A and B are shown apart, each in its own frame.
Chain A
Amino acid sequence: MKRGLISIPTKIPGPIVEQVDLLVSQGLFTSRSEFIREAVRDFLADEVERIQPHRLAFAMVQRELMGQVKNRPVEEIVEETRKIRRELWEKRK
């Protein structure tokens, strides 16, 4: 995972930049960069959550499992899950 700030050169229409500069001049953001960082962060959170929440959830699971997967034989997984099933069912009875 990359850390720290990374420069991404981009072009933004003038009228939009003027509106950003207005918000910065009113003290709502410290700089154009800060505004863009906040905007990207918010949009990312909303869009990923709205459109593909399962993909984000899956990516988070994959990250947790990285380097830890045991590659056990199918029969072992089946046996263990049968045991878990019995135990959980007993607790529900």
Chain B
Amino acid sequence: MKVMIDTNVFIFGIERPISNSNVIIGLIFKRNLKPVFSELLVDEISDYFKRNYSKNTGWLVSDLIKKLPNVSIESESEIKSKINKNIEKYGFSEEDVVHFTIAEEFDVEYLISLNRHFLKKKIKKPIVVSPHDFLKNIGVEPITDFE
């Protein structure tokens, strides 16, 4: 199953060992999920760790993403023409639509996010869910109620 993990979920999973986000990262390690990232997503995650911890930590996190089992990291440049069309379709800003466009283009089934603006919209393709609801959907008992 292909999933896209939003920046906030990946960060939360790395920072909090006891979290639904961390369980999802564990499923990726066990090769139960195929993570799809955009280059922008990888840069966002890396940048967060660079700003909040150190340049080295940012680099190590980027290296970790590239080494995830079954990972694919897609370039935004190849789907630029579709981004503008999707701004109206999804009703998000350009930089958010990038990830939805890549998710669409590469048949991602779930986009997992903690962003309430995304979760409110009830998008069906990809299915946008919180980490908690994603785990419930795939039959895994969530370990926390709050994310």
Q: Enumerate chain A interface residues (CB-CB to B < 8 A).
A: 53-55, 57-58, 60-61, 64-65, 68-71, 74, 77-78, 80-82, 84-86, 88-89, 92
Contacts and interface: CB of A to CB of B under 8 A. Distances in A.
A74 B147 contact: yes
B91 interface: no
A60 B61 CA distance: 9
Given A57-B67, A84-B47, 12 more contacts: A54-B29, A60-B64, A61-B64, A74-B147, A80-B48, A81-B11, A81-B44, A82-B115, A85-B40, A86-B93, A88-B47, A89-B95
A81 B12 CA distance: 11
Contacts of A92: 40, 76
Given A68-B53, A89-B95, A55 B44 contact: no
A61 B61 contact: yes
Chain B contact residues: over half helix, strand or loop, or mixed? helix
Interface residues on chain B, size class: 35 or more
B104 interface: no
A61 B45 CA distance: 13
A64 B60 contact: yes
Contacts of A86: 93, 95
A89 to B, nearest CB: 4
Chain A contact residues: over half helix, strand or loop, or mixed? helix
A57 B64 CA distance: 5
A84 B95 CA distance: 10
Interface string B1-36: 000001110011011100000000000010000000
Contact of B60 (A53, A57, A68, A69): A57
Contacts of B43: 88
A77 B11 contact: yes
A89 B54 contact: no
Given A65-B57, A74-B8, A92-B76, A54 B114 contact: no
Q: Which of A65, A69, A85 has the most CB of B within 10 A?
A: A85
Contacts of B6: 81
Contacts of A85: 7, 40, 44, 95-96
